[in-house]
Structure 1
Amino acid sequence: MAEISNTDKPVLVLLHGWGVNRGVWQTILADIVPTVQVIALDIPGFGEAQPLLQSGNFSTVVTELASRIPANSLVCGWSMGGLLAIALAERYPEKVRQLALVAATPCFLQHADWPGMKATVMQQFAQSLQRDLSQTVSRFLAIQAMGSATAKSDAAVLKQAIAAYPQASAEALSAGLAFLSNEDLRQCFAGLKQPVIGCFGALDSLVPVAVVSELQKLQPDAELSVLAKASHAPFISHRMEFLAWLNNWLTAAVIAQQ
């Protein structure tokens, strides 16, 4: 994690998704606008972040992340990181000035009134974790790129990006699947007072694009964008389009703070 320097620049906090670590952001860091200071965090149990004794407790993980985030941060969460970012914004509003979601939703599991992942898919991942942790993560990375025109190379880039840091612990991976399966933060999301923006992929097989209209109902003022040919990792498959989206948000946020 980058240390917070003595600067008046607004802080952008990046939160990664399940099965990976802060290394996933490596390919875009150099091109993020210089008017912000960037902190890419490892979620407890992932990368170099130490697992918590109660790593399976969602609230404990949220509290730990809040302790590492400065006040008035611009928080951008991808996938599971977005779920945690929503909880941070709701429970620690002084920490989150604005919220950006990347292929993320307050409820990842499919319900009768909500598009999402089928419970059977979650169960299959949980079962396969017990058999072969490494193969399960590799399979998950491949699914994240599914649908993209550059799916094979996208998955390879994701795998290479996270290889610079320690592999997630089995406990953290299991806890993360539990978060994705059990947490339903739709009411929390609807009640957020911070400005919300989002970037989604029309070809995403994990967070279906149908969720965007549902999110808009919960947060009518949210600015939600869809990249027509992107899947679950738009910052990898559509780097330039993603950077344009991210930097436009950051530039406006910096101006608003001045």
Structure 2
Amino acid sequence: MHGWGFSSRVFKNLPGIKLELPYHGKSKFKSLTLRLLAKEIASVIPNNSILVAWSLGGTLALLIAFFYPSKVRHLMLLGSTACFSSLWEKRELRGFLLRLRREKEKFLEEFRSRAYPKSFNDFIDIGKSAKLLEDYFLTDVRSYVPYIKTPITLLHGTNDSVVPFRACIELYNLAKKAKLITFYGGHFPKDESIILEVLKGI
């Protein structure tokens, strides 16, 4: 599961079922809160799945593992956090949404270049997907994480400017069964092969 503003194309070289957030790519999902979207996704994925999730997708994966544990055998979370709003000031989050609504594609392109190391283009309905992003900003699953029994592998860039590194340290300390792997880089690794290598070791 990818992060906001992108699509399953970021995981095109990985095996498995590609899931897309509502109003991203070719997604058929419609829920605009993470809690409802977790339920929607849990209804279509097989039991004992390995969920590979990035950024907003990581918080979503934590919700799925907490509420629908039979669906998840292992979580692999890339650049993820249990509470995005704890990492940024409220004025910064408001400013992000304001610029997104005012500048639309221009700001989206700026964000994509900050979050992803390669040129990226795919469909997104900015207006509707912004509602999901707002809910992400309000979501705090830190109280859920200690009760998640599913093993978690955290993969995080040491220079992540979207979800700062301290987020994965907090997540690691909250989780009962977690392994932390770092890479030199930002929100998404330049060398995607590291994702596949970690996945093979699960």
The reply to whether TM is greater than 0.5 is: yes
Q: Which residue of 1 aligns with 2:11?
A: 25
The answer to whether 1:50 aligns with 2:44 is no
Q: Which residue of 1 aligns with 2:192?
A: 239
Give the distance between the partners of 2:166 and 2:63, measured in 1 at CA: 22
Residue identity over aligned pairs, in percent, reads 29
- What displacement does 1:216 show? 2.3
Q: Which residue of 2 aligns with 1:97?
A: 73
What secondary structure is seen at the aligned counterpart in 2 of 1:41? Answer: coil
Q: Name which one, 1 or 2, has greater alpha-carbon Rg.
A: 1
Gaps of 5+ in 2: none
- What displacement does 1:211 show? 2.2
Q: Which residue of 2 aligns with 1:8?
A: none
- What displacement does 1:56 show? 2.9
What secondary structure is seen at the aligned counterpart in 2 of 1:212? Answer: helix
Alignment of 1:149-228 (within 5 A): 154-156=117-119, 159=120, 162-163=121-122, 167-227=123-183
Match for 1:231: what amino acid? Answer: G
What secondary structure is seen at the aligned counterpart in 2 of 1:94? Answer: helix
The answer to whether 1:72 aligns with 2:48 is yes
The answer to whether 1:40 aligns with 2:29 is no
What secondary structure is seen at the aligned counterpart in 2 of 1:187? Answer: coil
Q: Judge conservation of contact 2:50–2:74 (CA < 8 Å) in 1.
A: yes
- What displacement does 1:172 show? 3.4
The answer to whether 1:127 aligns with 2:82 is no
Q: Which residue of 2 aligns with 1:62?
A: 38
Q: Which residue of 2 aligns with 1:83?
A: 59
What secondary structure is seen at the aligned counterpart in 2 of 1:62? Answer: helix
Match for 2:187: what amino acid? Answer: H
Inter-CA distance 143–62: structure 2 relative to 1 (3 Å threshold):
same
TM-score (ref. length: structure 1): 0.73
Gaps of 5+ in 1: 1-14, 33-37, 111-115, 146-153, 250-258
Q: Judge conservation of contact 1:45–1:172 (CA < 8 Å) in 2.
A: yes
- What displacement does 1:171 show? 3.7
Q: Judge conservation of contact 1:198–1:224 (CA < 8 Å) in 2.
A: yes
- What displacement does 1:139 show? 1.1
Q: Judge conservation of contact 1:230–1:238 (CA < 8 Å) in 2.
A: no
Give the distance between the partners of 2:49 and 2:56, measured in 1 at CA: 19
Q: Judge conservation of contact 2:22–2:28 (CA < 8 Å) in 1.
A: yes
- What displacement does 1:220 show? 4.5
Give the distance between the partners of 1:241 and 1:64, measured in 2 at CA: 29
Aligned-CA RMSD value: 1.7
**Residues matched between the structures, number:** 202
Match for 2:163: what amino acid? Answer: V
Q: Judge conservation of contact 2:157–2:165 (CA < 8 Å) in 1.
A: yes
Q: Judge conservation of contact 2:29–2:40 (CA < 8 Å) in 1.
A: no
Give the distance between the partners of 1:240 and 1:76, measured in 2 at CA: 14
Give the distance between the partners of 1:51 and 1:239, measured in 2 at CA: 26
Give the distance between the partners of 2:182 and 2:135, measured in 1 at CA: 25
Give the distance between the partners of 1:51 and 1:214, measured in 2 at CA: 30
